[in-house]
Structure 1
Amino acid sequence: MKYIVNCLLALCVFVIASPVAVNAAEPTDGGAGGQIVRVITLAKDGPGSLADALDREGPRIIVFEVGGAIDLERSSLTITQPHVTIAGQTAPSPGITILRGGINVNTHDVIIRHLRVAVGSDGLPKRHGWEVDAFSTRSAHNLLIENNSFFWGVDENMSASGPRFTGDTVEEWREGTSRNIIFRSNLAAEGLADSTHPKGEHSKGSLIHDNATGIVFERNVWAHNVERSPLLKGGVEALMINNLIYDPQYRAVHYNLMDLEWAGHTPVDGQLTAVGNVMRGGNSTDTGLPFLTIGGVGDLQYYGRDNVAIDRYGNDLPMFGRYGHTRAQIIEQDAPLHDLDGYSIMPSEDVETVLLATSGARPWDRSEMEIRVLFYIAEGRGEVIDSENEVGGYPQFEATSAPFVEADWDLATMTPKSGIWPGQKDGAQEHLSPRDREMRATNR
């Protein structure tokens, strides 16, 4: 394990010279300028807990004076109060890991950084009926979900959802569901396949529900999910830049407007701009799996550039495919359908190296579960799983504590003024993620 850690830290050193992802127009400032709320207990609720901090009203920045695991005991945290920043980077090592539950966002103007979420089946029988997302939204807007690790979802790992139709017009539909969300530098891995979901197999990466717009996936890693990396439903407008999809089984990226769900409503074209993404097959991947497949009855307007799809041996895979004998078509476009200004876009050859060093929670202070998945991606190992027990079960973390000292932090960027992050092994700046270095340099 020490060898693995050293290899990943060496990757961080290499990445410093690589391009940095920058979105000039972030969707929200979260709780910037608001009250500092300290989490002082790992209890799932009650005074001083994360749940208590989330329930407070008004702009707030949530910081942590404890590190370890918050066991939700088969429940979920639901965020209903807007204007909040959850700064998981402030926790002492080993950071904050949420077990046996997930996070739901049902509001607006939220930033979540550097949390781990590990749902799992918790010993329940198959098809028990427990269906929990590691992360999801419902009619939420203006969110930044950045540098988190989402594991073992029994529904989806990292999704955005809401009602399909609210009102009578397309504009009203889009206003009523989730929108304007950036998913950046997250790790969404090992959605559980034959587990507790009542539908049976349900290893899913990301579901973007019908009519969601302004959805950005930038520099994320999906690994060992059967499908939905991501699935875009009817009328979705999305942008994918420099993501890595490893070992998808039946589908990687796919689009589907289903007549069964849209009956009585006129289909709306979806839009996808995909630039510099990499899909690499693994041990679970079907032979000949395409990068993008389409089903259903609605068309997808698509612009793609420098996207790569290869099997586990480096052989080219098809870019397009379909499922179902239906009328839906992928309509290729000559120009991007979304504004690419403000993004620093890597060539696809750099995506894997950079993302393995910088995606997921606390790149300077990895947990063993993240190290295992990232190193397996690098080596072409691992597979889709049915239970967390196949990979060692729930992680054990020692509870730690340390005071949060406001004067030591740049509260505008939530970065340490010293350049040394909680839990950083040797204080070397090489171990910062490129995104965090850019934030400090530009004081964003």
Structure 2
Amino acid sequence: MLALAAPHSAFAQAKDPTSGGDGGRIIRVTTLAKDGPGSLKAAIEAKGKRTVVFEVGGVIDLGRSVLEIDEPYLTIAGQTAPSPGITIVRGGIDLKGHDVKISHLRVMTGADGQPHLSNWEADAFSTVAAHNVVIEHCSFLWAIDENMSASGPRFTGKDVKEWRAGTSHDVLFRENLAAEGLANASHPKGEHSKGSLVHDNTTGIVFYRNVWAHNMERSPLVKGGAQVLMINNMIYDPGHRAVHYNLMNLEWAGHPYVTGEITAVGNVMRAGNSTVPGLPFLTLGGDGDLAWFSKDNINVDRWGNPAPMLGRYGVTKAKVIEAPQPLASLDGYRITPAATLETDLLSTVGARPWDRAPDDIRVLFFVAEGRGEIIDDEKLVGGYPHPAETRAAFVDKDWNLATMTPKSGVYPGQHAGAQEKLSERDKAMRQGGTQ
């Protein structure tokens, strides 16, 4: 069972890269329409420092479009929505601005019946040359490209410093669920079940206490010259690759190579039904070298037996350079020993852990039970959700607006005890009846 966890993150970094729109004006979302007055899109497009709250709960159907966030100094507080919270379907979010915080949203992209290789290829969430970003307690499912990425242009400017300034940097992913990237769906490249892409020359990319589940590759893929910190994440049922690094000569032709950096501490990888036997925790591809610091990371097969930590795909001169100390600061993080991480993490990760959606419960139970697999279409696991629309006023005085936490300590829709998705027969049996 998934026990009720602390409703909001108890694992905050000592200093997040941004405070978003905290302290700005409050904008209320009052409709589930994809655009127009009172919509999330209108709130995102507003200018100035702002915090977005919700007076409506349910599904926002983007109709195979993408929400683009360009305006900076924004906080989106999905925890304020009445139960069942906010779920975005048939689309995704591209974050192109800076100083943005997003909490407690669900994004379920899906193939939406589009033909194989037909060019519908949205991410569930990606930064696009964004910086100073916090993405926490969100659930990203059924992406056609990546579920949860930090991306942008590879070479903007004349040197490495300018390249890094011109793409995504200083992005924190904390307590998110990135699951069931669709494999053979509508992406024009074919198979594309991917967890997270960390694009070339991105820096300050932090993955802290996230779960990747049932993605064929990229949990995450770190590209050339990128700098990544991974602390207390879990990778379950990766298909052909889990963590991998690849600086591709085909993409870097004419540019000097830059050594990438990954610091990995207290992470767990566990094979599942879709995982190829003997899959390493980290695999190296491409031409560029990777500086690598690893401490207290675990990789096991489906039966708990130790599995390899390092491997490679590609016959090149690229090297893994073992670092004697972390390549990024660990200050300010609460670090759980890898051996005790799984139980601790599954109870807190994802959107609204006090009020979980059925698909989040399903995925997390499957992780705990060693079940599930990589899928090609959202219909294979029930398709898009259709909860009834709900409404409740957001009352400013009932919330600590500096932290976006309720003064009562009770979140909208908060449940006590374990959360399960039970059939009517199961419910009757738990109550001692028969059916």
What TM-score, normalized to structure 2? 0.95
3-state SS, counterpart of residue 160 of structure 1: strand
Cα deviation, residue 25, structure 1 = 1.3
Cα deviation, residue 261, structure 1 = 0.1
Does 2:406 correspond to 1:416? yes
Identity %: 64
Cα deviation, residue 280, structure 1 = 0.3
Query: In the alignment, what sits opposite 1:268?
Result: 258
Gaps of 5+ in 2: 420-435
**Contact 1:20/1:344 (8 A) holds in 2:** no
Query: In the alignment, what sits opposite 1:247?
Result: 237
Does 2:3 correspond to 1:9? yes
Q: Which whole-Å CA distance do the structure 2 matches of 1:40 and 1:405 have between them?
A: 14
Provide the alpha-carbon RMSD of the alignment: 1.5
Aligned match for 1:257, one of 247, 252, 255:
247
Aligned match for 1:386, one of 376, 380, 394:
376
Does 2:342 correspond to 1:352? yes
**Contact 1:39/1:65 (8 A) holds in 2:** yes
Q: Which whole-Å CA distance do the structure 1 matches of 2:377 and 2:216 have between them?
A: 14
Query: In the alignment, what sits opposite 1:434?
Result: none
Q: Which whole-Å CA distance do the structure 1 matches of 2:224 and 2:294 have between them?
A: 19
* Aligned partner letter, 1:360: G
3-state SS, counterpart of residue 148 of structure 2: coil
Aligned match for 1:112, one of 96, 102, 107:
102
Q: Which whole-Å CA distance do the structure 2 matches of 1:425 and 1:298 have between them?
A: 49
Q: Which whole-Å CA distance do the structure 1 matches of 2:320 and 2:13 have between them?
A: 27
Does 2:387 correspond to 1:397? yes
Aligned match for 1:406, one of 386, 396, 405:
396
Cα deviation, residue 199, structure 1 = 0.5
| Superposition pairs of residues 109-258 of structure 1, within 5 angstroms | 109-258=99-248
Aligned match for 2:274, one of 260, 284, 292:
284
Query: In the alignment, what sits opposite 1:102?
Result: 92
Cα deviation, residue 21, structure 1 = 2.5
**Contact 1:148/1:187 (8 A) holds in 2:** yes
Cα deviation, residue 397, structure 1 = 1.1
Cα deviation, residue 9, structure 1 = 2.4
3-state SS, counterpart of residue 140 of structure 2: strand
Does 2:14 correspond to 1:24? yes
3-state SS, counterpart of residue 358 of structure 1: coil
3-state SS, counterpart of residue 45 of structure 1: coil
| Superposition pairs of residues 308-347 of structure 1, within 5 angstroms | 308-347=298-337
Q: Which whole-Å CA distance do the structure 2 matches of 1:192 and 1:207 have between them?
A: 15
Cα deviation, residue 354, structure 1 = 1.2
Query: In the alignment, what sits opposite 2:81?
Result: 91
| Superposition pairs of residues 295-314 of structure 1, within 5 angstroms | 295-314=285-304
3-state SS, counterpart of residue 52 of structure 2: strand
* Aligned partner letter, 1:86: I
3-state SS, counterpart of residue 349 of structure 1: helix
Cα deviation, residue 142, structure 1 = 0.1
**Contact 1:21/1:345 (8 A) holds in 2:** no
* Aligned partner letter, 2:243: V
Cα deviation, residue 249, structure 1 = 0.4
Query: In the alignment, what sits opposite 1:73?
Result: 63
Q: Which whole-Å CA distance do the structure 2 matches of 1:163 and 1:112 have between them?
A: 23
* Aligned partner letter, 1:116: R
Cα deviation, residue 20, structure 1 = 4.8
Cα deviation, residue 349, structure 1 = 1.5
Aligned residues: 419
Q: Which whole-Å CA distance do the structure 2 matches of 1:415 and 1:241 have between them?
A: 25
* Aligned partner letter, 1:35: R
Deviation digits for residues 389-418 of structure 1 (CA, Å, limit 9, x no counterpart): 110111111100000000000000000000
Larger relative helix fraction: 1
* Aligned partner letter, 2:233: N
* Aligned partner letter, 1:124: Q
What TM-score, normalized to structure 1? 0.93
Q: Which whole-Å CA distance do the structure 2 matches of 1:304 and 1:25 have between them?
A: 23
Does 2:31 correspond to 1:60? no
Deviation digits for residues 49-94 of structure 1 (CA, Å, limit 9, x no counterpart): 0000000000000000000000000001000000000000000000
* Aligned partner letter, 1:9: A
